[in-house]
Amino acid sequence: MQDRTHAADAEPGDDVTVAGWVHELRDLGGIAFLILRDSSGKIQIKFEKDEMDEALVETGLGVARESVVSVSGRVEEEPRAPTDVEVVPESVEVIAPADPELPLDPSGKVDAELSTRLDNRTLDLRKEEVQAIFEVRAEILRAARERFRAVGCTEITTPKIVATGTEGGTELFPITYFGREAFMNQSPQLFKQLIAGSNVERVFEIGPIFRAEEHNTPRHLNEATSIDFEGAFCDDGDAMDVAEEVVRAAYEGVAENCADQLESLGLAEEFSVPEASFPRLTYEETIERINATGALEEPLVWGDDLPTEGEKALGEEIGSHYFITDWPSEIKPFYIKDHDDDPEVSTGFDLMHPRMELVSGGQREHRYDHLVEGFEQQGLDPEQFEYYTEMFRYGMPPHAGFGLGGERLIMTILGLENIREAVLFPRDRQRLSP
């Protein structure tokens, strides 16, 4: 491709070629402007109709919005232009014309439904505030990676096609694997434990998880990004420390490196990094406090899952992130270790944002006999999991970890209403393409 200057880099006196999308055409009579947009920003192109070549003016002003054009000319200072400079064109080339009927308006002047936006993501991402979400997403994942590495973790990637599920309560997507039944993985849970039990000790993974949940809510996806941690010689308290550090690092990364994006999203004033350390409430304290809010008709009793309205009422009262620890063993999966002095209570924990659950984790059952017993108690066939349990016979250290919902983290950091806004191409009950 020919040498090209980004809009933001054009300096008065330069001879440049700028290329991008036609954001707007403004015809004031004798003078007209084409506002050209690229990934760096916008720049004004000035057409003086009586003084310029007729064909040039016709090409520049006859083009439909969102067409891709390349403009060569001299950059001049112009205090009335949006960026204080404008290009006086010598040539204009239409590289890719756009249909004048657009399915959505990238200038944002006309609002579009979320489903129309998701059907036309390329056009949707031409809006500054939508692009900003994905730039922030990239920063959050970068900051999380960096923090994991700083606490001694190695990044791993594990199979997404598997023979068995691990997370009770959510359904699996079956697939055909050379004539055999297989599934899309719900969580890297068992793999990350198997690696934490090797010499590698501390691992993290950022990858897709697949959940065939029936729910159609603003905070569930059928394909989500899980940010997973597992560490040998760690207990539930250590895993909570790492979860808190990673969540805080994500906020810090956004605060330090996403000033322009926060501005585009209208969040520059209100954005802040959580200050105090996240309080840790036991499950027992949590249900008492939820009951005391009066948000539920039926009070919660030991062993109940926490209903969304209860979580919301307590979240409003606490007003910050908080952990819920010491869950009843019976509502946590088989791989979560129970407390030695009380098998009814587990080491499982959740990290909550006032709006929703962000993380589940816990210390793991690392003793072979207890693990196999746990499978049987949950009605699972230990033979199907032999590839996993066998490794617990050859020196499996105590270990702990967590899974953090990537999109929920992005959603809560940016205050997005719907989780689908945090994914380029979300998968939900209705949506399989694009």
Instruction: For ligand AMO, give the closer residue by CB, 89 or 361.
Output: 361
Site for ligand AMO in 119-178 (CB under 6 A): 167
Query: Is residue 143 within a helix (H) or strand (E), and if so which, with residue range?
Result: helix 128-150
* Ranges assigned E (strand) in 190-234: 202-210, 223-232
User: CB under 6 A: which stretch of 69-77, 130-138, 387-395, 399-407 binds ligand AMO?
Assistant: 399-407
Least Cβ distance, residue 389 to ligand AMO (angstroms): 17
Cβ count within 10 A of residue 332: 21
Nearer to ligand AMO, 74 or 355 (CB): 355
Least separation in angstroms between residue 220's CB and ligand AMO is 4
- # residues contacting ligand AMO (CB under 6 A): 22
Nearest 5°: the CA angle 353, 427, 324 is 20
Residues noted as catalytic: 211, 213, 219-220, 357, 360, 408
Residue 426: both structure tokens together: 């979300």
- For residues 324 and 318, what is the distance between their CA atoms, to the nearest angstrom? 12
CB of 72 to ligand AMO, least distance (A): 48
Give the dihedral of Cα atoms 77, 80, 82, 86; nearest 10 deg.
Answer: -30
Indicate whether 337 belongs to the interface with ligand AMO (CB under 6 A).
no
Tell me which of 401, 411, 421, 428 binds ligand AMO, using CB under 6 A: 401
In angstroms, rounded to a whole number, what is the distance separating the alpha carbons of residues 239 and 347? 11
**From 59-67, 74-82, 288-296, 404-412, span contacting ligand AMO (CB under 6 A):** 404-412
Residue 226 sits in the site that holds ligand AMO (CB under 6 A): yes
The CB-side HSE value for 61 (13 A sphere, CA atoms) comes to 19
Q: Does 347 bind ligand AMO (CB under 6 A)?
A: no
Buried b (16+ CB within 10 A) or exposed e, 117-133: bbbbeebbebbbebebb
**Stretch of residues binding ligand AMO (CB under 6 A), selected from 13-21, 49-57, 217-225, 293-301:** 217-225
Distance of CA 102 to the CA centre of its chain: 28
The interface mask with ligand AMO, positions 350-379, x = CB under 6 A, is -------xxxxxx-----------------
Minimum distance of ligand AMO from residue 146's CB (angstroms): 20
383 contacts 205 by C-beta, under 8 angstroms = no
Looking at the Cβ atoms of 287 and 410, the one nearer to ligand AMO is 410
Q: Residues 23, 37, 126, 220: which binds ligand AMO (CB under 6 A)?
A: 220
CB of 217 to ligand AMO, least distance (A): 9
Residues 6+ apart with CB under 8 A from 59: 92, 93, 94
Q: How far is the CB of 362 from ligand AMO (least distance, A)?
A: 6
Q: Would you count residue 211 as binding ligand AMO (CB under 6 A)?
A: yes
In whole angstroms, the minimum distance from the beta carbon of 212 to ligand AMO comes to 9
Cβ–Cβ < 8 Å for 62, 29? no
Shortest-Cβ-distance residue relative to ligand AMO: 405
CA distance 142 to 386: 35
Smallest gap, in angstroms, from Cβ of residue 177 to ligand AMO?
22
Binding of ligand AMO by 187 (CB under 6 A): yes
Q: What is the dihedral of CA 211, 214, 218, 220, to 10 degrees?
A: -10
Check: CB of residue 35 under 8 Å from CB of residue 26: yes
User: Given the complex with ligand AMO, which of 106 and 401 has the nearer CB atom?
Assistant: 401
Q: Is 426 in the site for ligand AMO (CB under 6 A)?
A: no
213 binds ligand AMO (CB under 6 A): yes
Q: Is the dihedral of CA 374, 377, 378, 379 positive or negative?
A: positive
Nearer to ligand AMO, 33 or 229 (CB): 229
Taking the C-alpha atoms of residue 295 and residue 298, their distance in angstroms, rounded to an integer, is 9
Token look-up 């910050």 returns: 320
Give 266's contacts (C-beta < 8 A, 6+ positions apart).
129
Residue 408 as a binder of ligand AMO (CB under 6 A): the answer is yes
CB of 213 to ligand AMO, least distance (A): 5
Residues 6+ apart with CB under 8 A from 102: 65, 66, 123
Instruction: Tell whether residue 202 is a contact of ligand AMO (CB under 6 A).
Output: no
- Residue nearer to ligand AMO on the CB measure, 73 or 188: 188
- The reply on whether position 405 binds ligand AMO by CB under 6 A is yes
Give 77 or 330: the residue with its C-beta nearer to ligand AMO. 330
Binding site for ligand AMO (CB under 6 A): 167, 187, 189, 211, 213, 220-221, 224, 226, 228, 357-362, 401-403, 405, 407-408
